[in-house]
Chain A
Amino acid sequence: DADVTQTPRNRITKTGKRIMLECSQTKGHDRMYWYRQDPGLGLRLIYYSFDVKDINKGEISDGYSVSRQAQAKFSLSLESAIPNQTALYFCATSDRLASLNEQFFGPGTRLTVL
């Protein structure tokens, strides 16, 4: 969905490096999420934020941190990347006022940690 953008789309880095993945949305949604996708494991929730002052850990938050700089921006950081953080990362948004709270996904960032 072009309303949810992620940068970079691809990134190769080395073990121990600090990495930031960025997500921006123009949908005006208040809720934002970060997931990682691994083959055979589906998508797993890393962190989520229901508004600018609200940050919550998801299922697999260890080794990650996030920042909600504005309603439209939600960044994911890997403080010291390790190879098992190699994955496809998705940002998503939703509107708490919408029926059934559908989540809208960005195109993903493919991260490789060597």
Chain B
Amino acid sequence: AQSVTQPDIHITVSEGASLELRCNYSYGATPYLFWYVQSPGQGLQLLLKYFSGDTLVQGIKGFEAEFKRSQSSFNLRKPSVHWSDAAEYFCAVDFTGGGNKLTFGTGTQLKVEL
């Protein structure tokens, strides 16, 4: 079955430190890949997305993600975390080749220590 794995349920980083959130998916071909952020009491906001082209994708709020086909991974990174980045982050995958059906990972809760 197609699945999306976010192995880290909780991550705590200090403000100013770098961040990497992991996402792996089970699929042979390259799917459509997304990262969303959910701030407390808010809906989901798209950070970035990837289907083809340059495997390093830039998003909003200083985030980037790198697609690695050999590892079936799409990890999210930020060089320097701000306290306002504390939120829950979801990796989502469209396995239907643009058919618009997203499968979400279970999320990673990010805490930022001042």
Residues of A within 8 A of B (CB): 1, 4, 31, 35, 40-45, 48, 50, 58, 90, 92, 94, 96, 100-108
Contact = CB atoms under 8 A, between A and B. Distances in A.
Interface residues of B, number: 25
A48 B101 contact: yes
A40 B90 CA distance: 11
B102 A45 contact: yes
Given A40-B9, A43-B90, A94 B100 contact: yes
A102 to B, nearest CB: 6
Given A42-B106, A100-B51, 14 more contacts: A1-B45, A35-B104, A40-B106, A40-B107, A41-B106, A42-B104, A42-B105, A43-B102, A43-B104, A48-B100, A94-B100, A101-B32, A102-B34, A106-B43
17 contacts: A4-B43, A31-B100, A35-B104, A40-B106, A40-B107, A42-B4, A43-B104, A44-B104, A45-B102, A48-B101, A90-B43, A96-B100, A104-B46, A105-B43, A105-B44, A105-B45, A107-B41
Nearest to A95: B100
Q: What 6 pairs between A and B have smallest CB-CB spacing?
A: A105-B43, A42-B104, A105-B44, A43-B104, A42-B106, A107-B43
Contacts of B98: 100-101
A1 B38 CA distance: 12
B49 A102 contact: yes
Interface in B1-53: 4, 6, 9, 32, 34, 36, 41-46, 49, 51
A44 B36 CA distance: 14
A39 B104 CA distance: 13
Given A90-B43, A107-B42, A108-B43, A101 B104 contact: no
